[in-house]
Amino acid sequence: MKVEQGNEVKKKLLITGSTGFVAGHVIEQASENWSVHGVSRSIHTSSSGSAQNHVADLLEPDQVSRLIQEIRPDAVIHTAAMANIDQCQTDQVSAHAVNVGATSTIAELCKNMGIKLVYCSTDSIFDGEKGNYEETDTPHPVNFYAETKVEAEKIVLSASDRNVVARLSLVMGFPVSGKGNSFLNDMILKIGRNEPVNFPQNEIRTPIDVITLATALAELAGNIFHGIIHLAGNTRSDRYSMAQKIADILGLPPESRSLIRGTDSNSIPGRARRPNDASLNNSKARQLLRTPMLTLEEGLQQVIKAHKTN
């Protein structure tokens, strides 16, 4: 399963959803130490050219099986998901097929081939009634998206005692290419067009920057940790205050800051319910990982600096 590059032998890492926001950064962060392979439903070239890209439909088990048999990776980071909460609520058949069915296929193949699987879950699995959730707290999903993630977590953990469930808090940063699912990028684009941007004051999170997250996921793929771990930042904040802090760091003028509007996400008709306080306790990650967890300001500074460099 290893690739020789000169005198260096690199293990192989397969990343699903390789065109996505998080996966793009994992590819960048992991390429120094891994021979990286990405898989998506369409042809895609990573911005750094650091991954071998493959096309497969994760809903087709035969395609997934052929791909994994061909690559024979040492580890898989499974980021691919149907993550739009409202879309999952209205199209539950598709949501279950992607978030549970595809995960089950990958978990079974990894089990049979002795491959470590790192599964990306979410802070949304909790009901938001208490906050500061630890890995031992019992999930209580309040929408269908979260239900699928809880079901997938169980599949991953039962498939192998080598596997990891990484629960991700709100991820902030800029996509490697394209728009991606980035609230920070979306905020800047809308303000640049003089459009108002709504941020829920009721939603409390522990945001993690995408560079730290990607580095931590790559570390988990290569170390001996198994089980559940919370990947979250050191700052607990409601999303409206978070947006105001971003405006401070970006140095936005008053007229731009006035476009940032506070809302209550659970008072908007036709939307799936969101947990209010889904903040995660990151003590385990800070204790066990070499990758440092950062404050909101440190994380923002890191992604802004990287974005300007690129």
Q: How sure is the predictor about 277, in pLDDT bands with cuts at 50, 70 and 90?
A: very high
Q: Which fold has domain 2-172+207-236+278-296?
A: Rossmann fold (3.40.50)
Q: Please give the mean pLDDT across all residues of the chain.
A: 93
- Global pTM reads 0.94
Q: How sure is the predictor about 180, in pLDDT bands with cuts at 50, 70 and 90?
A: low
Mean pLDDT of 275-290: 98
Q: Could you read off the pLDDT of 213-266 as tens digits, one per residue?
A: 999 999 999 999 999 999 999 999 999 999 999 999 889 999 999 999 999 999
Q: How sure is the predictor about 47, in pLDDT bands with cuts at 50, 70 and 90?
A: very low
The domain limits of the chain are 2-172+207-236+278-296
Q: How sure is the predictor about 9, in pLDDT bands with cuts at 50, 70 and 90?
A: confident
Q: How sure is the predictor about 200, in pLDDT bands with cuts at 50, 70 and 90?
A: very high
Partners of residue 5 on adjacent β-strands: 8
Residue 17 scores a pLDDT above 60: yes
Q: Could you read off the pLDDT of 113-156 as tens digits, one per residue?
A: 999 999 999 999 999 999 999 999 999 999 999 999 999 999 99
Q: How sure is the predictor about 309, in pLDDT bands with cuts at 50, 70 and 90?
A: confident
Return the pLDDT at 279. Answer: 98
